[in-house]
Amino acid sequence: MDRAQANKEIEQLRTEINQYNYEYHVLDSPSVSDSEYDKKIQRLIELESMYPDLLTPDSPSQRVGGEPLDAFRKVQHTIPMLSLGNAFNEEDLRDFDRRVREGLNEEVSYVCELKIDGLAVSLRYEDGLFTQGATRGDGTEGEEITSNLKTIRSIPLRIDLDDAIEVRGEAFMPKKSFLALNEKKDANGEEPFANPRNAAAGSLRQLDSKIAAARNLDIFLYSVGQWEDGTLSSHSERLDYLKTLGFKTNPEWKKCQTIEEVIAYVQGWVENRPNLSYEIDGIVIKVDNLEQQERLGFTAKNPRWAIAYKFPAEEAITKLIDIELSVGRTGVVTPTAILEPVKVAGTTVQRASLHNEDLIREKDIRIGDTVVIKKAGDIIPEVVRVVKDKRSEEQQLFHMPKKCPACDSELVRLEEEVALRCINPSCPAQLIEGLIHFVSRNAMNIDGLGEKVVIQLFEEKLVHDIADLYKLEKEDLLELERMGEKSVTNLLEAIEASKQNSLERLLFGLGIRFVGAKAARTLAEHFLSIEQLVSANFEELIEINEIGDKMADSIARYFDEPQAKALIQELQQLGLNMEYKGLRKTDQPEDSVFKDKTIVLTGKLEIFAREEAKQQIEALGGKITGSVSKKTDLLIAGADAGSKLSKAEQLGVEIWDEEQLRQALDN
């Protein structure tokens, strides 16, 4: 394909993809499948990699996220992004209407809009091209987050307007995305976000835009900042015009002629807000006529022509029947309030988070108390306070147990943590997640042992802990549903092969708190054998480069547990390798072809597992990165290599196939 043909196909792909984005993310009416969309995006990226000079800033390919930034640049807002005054009840709204009418001494109409609970941002377009996005900041100065905002697919990268224009809106995280993100954080043992607003703000303030791209954010545009056009005379006309330009505006806005209509609109959304797919925390009321807005002007902090009605925190009173304990994947024991069912924010609540023992003590919560609950961010129920006037002598003080409710092991409180934690590796409440982690790609990498198979084995009582994986019998597996002769044979062969893994894979697979794949490699390389590591004390661990206080303490505590020592001994008896097989940094040959080189792996590797190739190259002094640039020294291309191979060819980067890699590693 020559350049002219590529340019023609690129233009066609961009037009189609932009239309698909608009249909899906703005109109909520997709016309193609996800797979068809993905194929076109990949084809576009491939062509732009072949002809980098054809890449433009408004290409849909630029939404996937770029290289991480070192810091955000400060941005001065030409027209300040002022905050609004607040109204909390009907009387406040009537006072606002009275002040507006007295200031104008003429008829006035209002526009009511849902107040989206997210992060206020501004978008600047020049000659139709999206050139800059910024946070509100303190109203006069924000931070440039253009690369992060480009990942929001409802933001057009180009509009049909020759003038320079700045538009403003609220970036937010839909409820569905928020719940999925917190489920993922919980599975990884990370602290969940408290509400969608914090999640959206945290996503847009990531220096790595790929993180923002993965968070599925959205936006509603609601006003114009700097714009020279004077043909539109009202805020409602501007909302309609923003929509014609391709911006996503909230469809629920309404023009009201009287304050009575405004109050009715507010009351309607107090009842209907739980039915929305995104969070709102109030209603914004604005004078519609722009000339009237200008005459009313501003106070030192707020416009006189607009106000924000803030929804009261929806709370409910119920009885706390009991406090239930659950053990998470990382062993944290979490208390949960069991409640008499009560309706809050449109849903029936029967359970609420109590977080930890310190919070229970701080709020003096007792079993049998009458309590006030609310939904944090209107999603996560929590106990706000106790109604102590209703307390009698029947209520019972709650004490966290000293032993794990699932396995009866001693609970510990690690330094600087408020949570109690079970560190018994055989705790049944942690076993399934622990098993899934143990067999995962970066740990023991046992092919065929996916999440569903692990759960099936556990439920059929064929495995109880990770050692049981190495005791599985063919006859037992053949009796399971969806387990045929070939799949069972392949599974048992994969389990047997994993016994030969180098020590670092086993260490990571054990799931020791704070010990990731990199730390596991550091420990294995330093101690060389599991025996040496188990016998190491805190002082010896802390001396190792990259092993901090928390990690050293966690490792020492883990191997002090009798259950952990017994597990290691059993795995050793089952034939698992307990030694480091890789090269030590001190053993790196000076003439290594990989030494001090920046290397990219791409395509499907058939001789090596990708992680194995990465580890061997790094052991020989190479540095693996994920993208091709002028700094790349070597690209190793497996089967079906795509855009990275094309870009390497364009830049003149040295390219190897997998056989050349094998020969270099053998030498």
What secondary structure does DSSP assign to 410-423, as a single string?
A: BEE--TT--SEEE-
pTM: 0.51
Residue of 89, 463, 458, 125 lying closest to 266 (CA atoms)? 89
**pLDDT the model gives residue 34:** 67
Q: CA of 71: how far to CAs of 120, 208, 213, 533, in Å?
A: 20, 10, 18, 39
Residue of 280, 183, 225, 230 lying closest to 75 (CA atoms)? 225
pLDDT along the chain (667 residues), means of 10: 87 88 74 77 85 84 66 84 88 95 94 94 92 88 90 92 91 91 73 80 84 90 84 92 94 96 93 87 95 88 90 83 85 90 78 86 92 70 88 89 90 77 81 86 88 90 93 93 90 95 94 85 92 93 85 92 92 96 68 86 80 80 81 87 82 89 83
Residue that the structure tokens 């016309």 belong to: 31
Tell me the C-alpha distance between 134 and 123, whole Å: 7
**pLDDT the model gives residue 1:** 77
pLDDT in tens, 441-479: 889 999 889 888 998 999 899 998 899 999 999 999 999
Count of positions (residues) in the chain: 667
Tell me the C-alpha distance between 471 and 578, whole Å: 18
Residue of 494, 495, 488, 434 lying closest to 470 (CA atoms)? 495
Residue pair 580/503 in contact (Cβ under 8 Å)? The answer is yes
Q: Name, in order, each residue with C-beta under 8 angstroms of 543's C-beta and a sequence gap of 6 or more.
A: none
**3-21 vs 34-50: helix crossing angle, rounded to 10:** 150
- Give me the catalytic one of 115, 150, 248, 647: 115
Radius of gyration of the chain (CA): 30
Q: CA of 624: how far to CAs of 126, 345, 570, 595, 633, in Å?
A: 39, 49, 36, 11, 10
Q: Name, in order, each residue with C-beta under 8 angstroms of 157's C-beta and a sequence gap of 6 or more.
A: 18, 57, 58, 59, 60, 62, 63, 129, 130, 150
Tell me the C-alpha distance between 329 and 186, whole Å: 8
Q: Produce one character per residue of 291-324: b if its CB has 16 or more CB atoms within 10 Å, e if not.
A: ebbeebeeeeeebbbbbbbbbeebebebebeebe
Active site residue 115: yes
User: Domains along the chain?
Assistant: 3-63 (1.10.287.610), 85-310 (3.30.470.30), 315-390 (2.40.50.140), 423-582 (1.10.150.20), 585-666 (3.40.50.10190)
Alpha carbon 88 to chain centroid, angstroms: 33
Tell me the C-alpha distance between 225 and 276, whole Å: 27
